[in-house]
C-alpha cells in the first residue's frame, strides 16, 4: 500500500519487502531497454511533428523519468536534479508548444512501459508481490502527472500573458503612429501567428450590443482602443462576424506595416461608428469622397452632363449596377460573373455609360469620377 510521501526528500515511505527491492533492481538494470520500448510506443517524429522537441530531449526526459520512478519505488530519496523534474518537464513542454494532451500521453506511456517491465520481472511466482504494490505505482504516476500538468498550465498562462502584453504594447505604439524596428515588427508578427511580410484582416468594431466572446472569438488578436476594438487575423479567409456587429473591416487582408494608417483611416471614417452593421473600408472611403467632392456641386449633371439622368430609371439602375460590379471586381469577366450575364453585355453597358457621360469606366480615374457623382456607394 502507498504510505506517506516526504516532499523534502521525495521518497515514498513503504514497508519494503526484500523481494520487492530485488524486483526494482532487476527493472533498473533494464533501463536502456525500457527507454527503447518507450520510443517504439511513442515515436518522436510521428508524435511531435514540427514541434521543437528533439529526439535527444525526449531520450533525456525518459531516462530521468524512469530513474525518478525507480528510486521512489525503492524508497530512496531523490537527488536534487530529480526533485523538480515534473515541474521542469511541464514548463519545458509548454515553452516548446507541445499540446497538453500529447504531454500527458507521453507521461502515461512511460508508466505503461514501466508497469510491463515489472510484470515481466515478477512473473507468476511474484505476482502477489506486484499486486501489493499496484496502489503505490498508480499513486506515484498520478502524483507526477498532476505536478507536470500544473507546471504546464502555469507556464502556458505566463506565456499567453507575455504574448498578450507584447501584442498590446506593440499595437498601441503602432496604431498611434510610432515606428517599430524590424525586430519588433517580426516579434509582433510572430505573436500574431503571421509572417512579418504577411497580410492581416483588420476590423474596427464597436463592442456595444454583442457579447465580447462572440465578437472576439474568431480573431487572433484584439486591442481595446479609443472605445472600440481593433481586431486582427492572419487567416486566409475573412473571419466571421456576428450579424449584429457594428463597425468597419478591410475588404482584403493588408500588410502589417499598413496597419497604423488603416486603423486611423477607419477611425476617421467611422467615428463614432453611427452606421449600422459592418461596412467595408473602401466603401466608406468612396462615401467620404462622394460627400466631399459631390458636395461642391449642387447638380452632378454639371459634371457628367444631363443625358445619363434623362434616360429611364430602370436603365440608370442597370448601368449603375454594372459600374458597381466592375469597380468591385476590377475586370469585365468578374463583373459579368457577379451580374450573371455575358461579358459582352458588360462591355456594351460600359460603352453606353461613356456615350452618355463622356467618361470611360475602363480608365480608373474616370471610373472614380463616375463612382463619386453617380453615388455608386
The pLDDT of residue 352 is 95
Q: pTM for the complete prediction?
A: 0.46
Evaluate whether 227 touches 271 at the Cβ level (below 8 Å): no
- Whether the CB-CB separation of 273 and 206 falls below 8 Å is answered with yes
Q: Cell match 505536478: residue? A: 147
What does R_g of the chain's alpha carbons equal in angstroms?
34
The cell for 322 is 454594372
Residue 167: in which H helix or E strand, if any? helix 134-175
Instruction: Decide if 239 contacts 192 (C-beta within 8 A).
Output: no
Strands 5-6 and 221-225, sheet pairing: unpaired
Give the H/E segment covering residue 5.
strand 5-6
Q: Which helix (H) or strand (E) holds 11?
A: strand 11-12
**pLDDT the model gives residue 69:** 86
CB-count burial class (<10 Å; 0-12, 13-18, 19+) for 335:
buried
Q: CA–CA separation, 106 vs 184, rounded Å?
A: 36
Question: Of 143, 141, 150, 194, which is closest to residue 170 (Cα–Cα)?
Answer: 194
Please give the pLDDT value at position 1: 32
**Which residue is associated with the grid cell 430602370?**
314
In angstroms, rounded to a whole number, what is the distance separating the alpha carbons of residues 188 and 166?
A: 7
Bond from prior residue into 272 cis (ω within 30 degrees of 0): yes
- For 167-299, where are the E strands, in sequence order? 199-206, 221-225, 228-233, 246-249, 254-255, 278-280
What are phi and psi for residue 347, nearest 5 degrees? -60, -45
Looking at the DSSP bridge assignments, the partners of residue 278 are 247
pLDDT per residue, tens digit, the chain (377 aa), is 333 334 344 444 445 678 888 888 888 888 888 888 888 888 877 777 755 677 788 888 888 888 888 888 888 888 888 888 899 888 888 888 788 888 888 888 888 888 888 888 888 777 777 777 777 777 888 888 889 889 988 888 887 777 667 666 766 666 666 666 777 677 677 766 677 677 888 888 887 777 777 777 778 777 776 777 778 787 778 888 888 888 888 888 888 777 777 777 787 776 545 556 888 887 777 777 766 666 666 677 777 888 899 999 999 999 999 999 998 888 999 999 999 999 999 999 999 999 998 889 998 888 888 888 888 76
Three-state DSSP at 119 gives helix
Cα distance between residue 239 and residue 244, in whole Å: 15
- How many CB atoms are closer than 10 A to CB 174? 22
Q: Residue 351 has what pLDDT?
A: 94
**How is residue 43 annotated by DSSP?**
-
Q: What are the cell numbers at 225? A: 482602443
The DSSP code for 280 is E
DSSP per-residue codes, 310-352 = HS-HHHHHHHHHHHHHHHHHSSHHHHHHHHTS-HHHHHHHHHH
Residue 313 grid coordinates: 430609371
1 burial (CB, 10 Å; 0-12 / 13-18 / 19+) is exposed
Distance between CA atoms of residues 139 and 142, nearest Å: 5
Instruction: Enter the C-alpha cell of residue 331.
Output: 475586370
Amino acid at each position: 500500500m502507498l504510505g506517506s510521501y516526504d516532499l523534502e526528500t521525495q521518497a515514498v515511505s513503504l514497508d519494503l519487502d526484500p523481494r520487492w527491492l530485488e524486483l526494482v533492481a532487476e527493472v533498473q538494470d533494464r533501463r536502456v531497454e525500457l527507454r527503447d520500448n518507450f520510443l517504439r510506443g511513442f515515436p518522436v517524429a510521428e508524435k511531435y511533428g514540427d514541434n521543437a522537441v528533439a529526439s535527444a530531449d525526449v531520450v533525456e526526459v525518459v531516462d530521468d523519468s524512469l530513474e525518478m520512478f525507480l528510486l521512489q519505488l525503492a524508497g530512496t530519496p531523490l537527488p536534487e536534479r530529480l526533485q523538480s523534474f515534473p515541474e521542469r518537464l511541464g514548463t519545458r513542454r509548454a515553452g516548446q508548444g507541445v499540446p497538453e494532451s500529447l504531454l500527458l500521453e507521453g507521461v502515461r506511456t512511460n508508466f505503461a512501459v514501466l508497469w510491463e517491465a515489472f510484470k515481466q520481472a515478477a512473473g507468476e511466482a511474484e505476482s502477489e508481490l506486484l499486486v501489493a504494490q499496484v496502489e503505490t505505482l498508480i499513486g506515484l504516476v498520478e502524483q507526477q502527472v498532476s505536478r507536470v500538468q500544473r507546471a504546464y498550465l502555469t507556464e502556458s498562462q505566463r506565456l499567453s500573458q507575455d504574448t498578450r502584453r507584447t501584442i498590446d504594447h506593440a499595437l498601441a505604439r503602432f496604431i498611434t503612429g510610432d515606428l517599430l524596428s524590424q525586430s519588433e515588427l517580426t516579434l509582433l508578427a510572430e505573436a500574431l501567428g503571421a509572417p512579418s511580410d504577411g497580410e492581416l484582416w483588420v476590423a474596427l468594431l464597436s463592442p456595444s450590443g454583442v457579447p465580447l466572446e462572440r465578437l472576439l472569438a474568431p480573431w487572433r488578436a484584439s486591442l481595446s482602443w479609443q472605445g472600440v476594438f481593433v481586431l486582427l487575423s492572419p487567416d486566409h479567409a475573412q473571419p466571421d462576424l456576428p450579424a449584429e456587429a457594428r463597425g468597419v473591416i478591410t475588404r482584403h487582408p493588408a500588410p502589417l506595416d499598413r496597419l497604423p494608417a488603416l486603423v486611423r483611416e477607419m477611425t476617421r471614417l467611422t467615428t463614432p461608428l453611427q452606421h449600422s452593421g459592418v461596412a467595408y473600408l473602401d466603401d466608406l472611403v468612396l462615401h467620404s469622397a462622394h460627400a466631399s467632392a459631390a458636395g461642391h456641386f449642387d447638380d452632378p449633371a454639371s459634371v457628367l452632363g444631363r443625358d445619363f439622368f434623362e434616360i429611364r430609371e430602370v436603365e440608370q439602375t442597370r448601368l449603375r449596377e454594372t459600374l458597381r460590379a466592375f469597380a468591385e471586381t476590377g475586370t469585365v469577366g468578374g463583373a459579368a460573373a457577379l451580374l450573371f450575364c455575358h461579358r459582352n453585355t458588360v462591355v456594351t453597358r460600359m460603352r453606353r455609360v461613356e456615350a452618355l457621360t463622356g467618361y470611360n469606366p475602363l480608365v480608373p480615374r474616370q471610373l472614380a469620377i463616375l463612382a463619386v457623382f453617380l453615388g455608386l456607394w
